[in-house]
A and B are shown apart, each in its own frame.
Chain A
């Protein structure tokens, strides 16, 4: 048995997971159109690689990765490119981004796939395939995996951690994936291990998913260790899971690889396997649709599927008003339910007044300290709140504001119902704005100083020239007088 470690605090919100695990993963019918954003990952958006009117095949690249941090985008099915333009995407602000709209032709005709054997290939080649296959972290951060799978020359990655904790309430997409496709996840993990030269692979799964644990254990064999970790939110945060499994604490602003650990979501391992061993790029993902619906469940949804299409399949109940993307602790309110499913979409929760009642009016902080007791980053949320509220941002930074992972535990336990995380987000954005302002004012100051220097230099030079000229004239006059 592996020795497990603790992190401070954590909470036990009601799980609401059983509702959506009754059925196996469902295959939804093809929607009428797919709207595929070209920016579904951290880094630079992909560059459009198709033209309006063009027929595309399933798995054909429609967006090319550009720049160091980027990932390709692919057509999820065969059809015609209807439009390329800006459409609202899944973002709390209702942001619009460049999307390729495809009308599926129903044939689902695939571009030829070319599987490779990863164990006899140059790792750099494999990473290029992953980048070109659009493999990104499916746990929510959507960071291009190829970059994380490059161990670098100096640092040794000892441990590869696969994250199957899925600690947020309501979400069950990783649970079902592990139950049904454990073999592929394990094979993906072996490829990742090969790329990183990792000594050990540990899969962490919260103990509220016994079926997934059993399936993974059976698939894992002896080389990969499957560990049941205690169910405690946010135990599925990468840093928290690394701490629980290895005892290592990754400080804010540092990379886990520097400490010899790399962490990936189980669904990412699955897509690594599909991309390398089957030659299939990422064109779909498992999405949990739950909340105020009659028929909650998990769908293997094509990227670009309008969310209201999936919600419709789950039959929303009366009193539905809007939806969340992600979990209720760290997810966000969708400005519109018609935005497309992207690689980051792990869960869609249909809201109702009953499931998510408006929070009571906040009362003053009574310094009870429950927030500090629940904080997995060992912060003092009551002090941060005080500083953020007072606009004392320097002090907030001194109290490690930027170590806050915005997990929401403090707000969850606050008996005064103070929206603490909002205060921290506000303080962070104010600090960023101040830094930007400082940077631009620094530039302006340098310019200004340069300008003053230049005008003075010009004045000086002009005076010197004049003086010279005058001296010359005087000398001339003197010469004339003398002659």
Chain B
């Protein structure tokens, strides 16, 4: 061994653990406003992720325990679980998680080597393969006609059974972003749409509180120096700017910037998805470029695309650009600055 002989007491597991902790407020908000289904989804995704991770490590002849303990599989599972409808069928959750871990992480070389965000690959696979199940989001409990207890949620997720006489429509609804898009297509005025019961003060009812919780978690990660400011600031600023421009130009057909910040996956994207170090750029300038691109793409996909939200595809499209961005944004080295 040669110098240095000292190292800071930090580890990959510690980083992942802090990110997981930072997600807890949003999970709590989710459970509070939309019922216990999300907890079941997270548990199922976590178990699947750990099993598939262990299996893949075994197949690749890698030490199982140290890599299982690094927490990265768990983080992928949580991100995916929070990106899909909370009461999806069990097989959908298992398929998405298994694909994320086995294909988009381990087939590319495992931790640190995957070019695409595994959770977002899992999401993309699911929304393309199972569009119906992937758009059945739970309505906020304060709006829904019926509530499901934990037992009833499990019955539905594992056996596709709803309580006698209950219709799925009684508990689900389209997301606020989706509703806005379809209602605008039906030429309803935007003011009227946003006064529908699923909307809250800024975004969707409940959803806006989750966004606030993600923001709080993200600020914790910034304070802990797990993430840097460039990605969240550039991402949120670009969404704000582009939605603001569209809103100024045509406020009858475009919701305002605050709606876009508080809706969909803007906040989880800004602080938890796009900040994934493995699949993002490493240079400060590169991070700004990457997140700005992702913000613009997110808005365009949301507004003009066929999918309910744009964060996942925006992330994957920008992931492709990362090697190029990194290569062209190398900061000048010491003594060679202009």
Query: Which residues on A are within 8 Å of B, measured CB to CB?
Result: 7-8, 11, 13-14, 92, 169, 239, 243, 249-252, 254, 324, 326, 328-333, 351, 356, 359-361, 363-369, 372-373, 376-380, 382-383, 399-400, 403, 406, 408, 411-417, 419, 421-422, 425
Contacts and interface: CB of A to CB of B under 8 A. Distances in A.
Interface in B284-338: 326, 330-337
B5 A380 contact: no
Contact of B6 (A329, A361, A406): A329
A421 B2 contact: yes
5 contacts: A331-B5, A363-B67, A366-B278, A367-B278, A421-B2
A359 B7 contact: yes
B195 interface: no
B4 A368 contact: no
A367 B4 contact: no
B111 A363 contact: yes
B228 interface: yes
A385 B12 CA distance: 17
Main SS class of interface, A: loop
Contact of B4 (A377, A403, A411): A411
B66 A361 contact: yes
A326 B2 CA distance: 12
B11 interface: yes
Interface string B68-102: 00101000000000000000000000000000000
B8 interface: yes
A414 to B, nearest CB: 7
**Which of B2, B10, B330, B337 has the most A CB atoms < 10 Å from its CB?**
B2
Contacts of B283: 372, 380
A162 to B, nearest CB: 21
Contacts of B66: 361, 363
Contacts, number: 133
B120 to A, nearest CB: 17
B113 interface: yes
Contacts of A380: 282-283, 330-331
A156 to B, nearest CB: 20
Contacts of B278: 366-367
Nearest to A398: B330
B15 interface: yes
Contacts of A383: 282, 326
Of the listed residues B10, B110, B337, the one surrounded by the most CB atoms of chain A closer than 10 A to its CB is B10
A264 to B, nearest CB: 20
Contacts of A379: 333
Nearest to A360: B11
Contact of B112 (A250, A365, A421): A365
Given A92-B2, A254-B335, A367-B112, 14 more contacts: A13-B8, A251-B334, A331-B5, A332-B3, A361-B66, A363-B67, A366-B15, A367-B278, A367-B280, A368-B15, A372-B283, A376-B334, A378-B337, A416-B12
B3 A330 contact: yes
B128 interface: no
B1 interface: yes
A92 B2 CA distance: 9
B334 A324 contact: no
Contacts of A251: 334-336
A328 B2 contact: no
A332 B335 CA distance: 27
B221 to A, nearest CB: 12
Nearest to B67: A363
B277 interface: yes
Contacts of A364: 110-113
B43 interface: no
Contacts of B7: 359, 411-412, 414, 417
Nearest to A377: B334
B4 A330 contact: yes
A331 B113 CA distance: 33
B264 to A, nearest CB: 27
Contacts of B12: 363, 366, 415-416
B4 A328 contact: yes
A249 B4 CA distance: 24
Contacts of B335: 239, 249-252, 254, 403
Nearest to A13: B6
Nearest to A372: B282
A279 B37 CA distance: 86
A366 B112 contact: yes
A421 B283 CA distance: 20
B8 A249 contact: no
Contacts of B10: 413, 415
A77 to B, nearest CB: 33
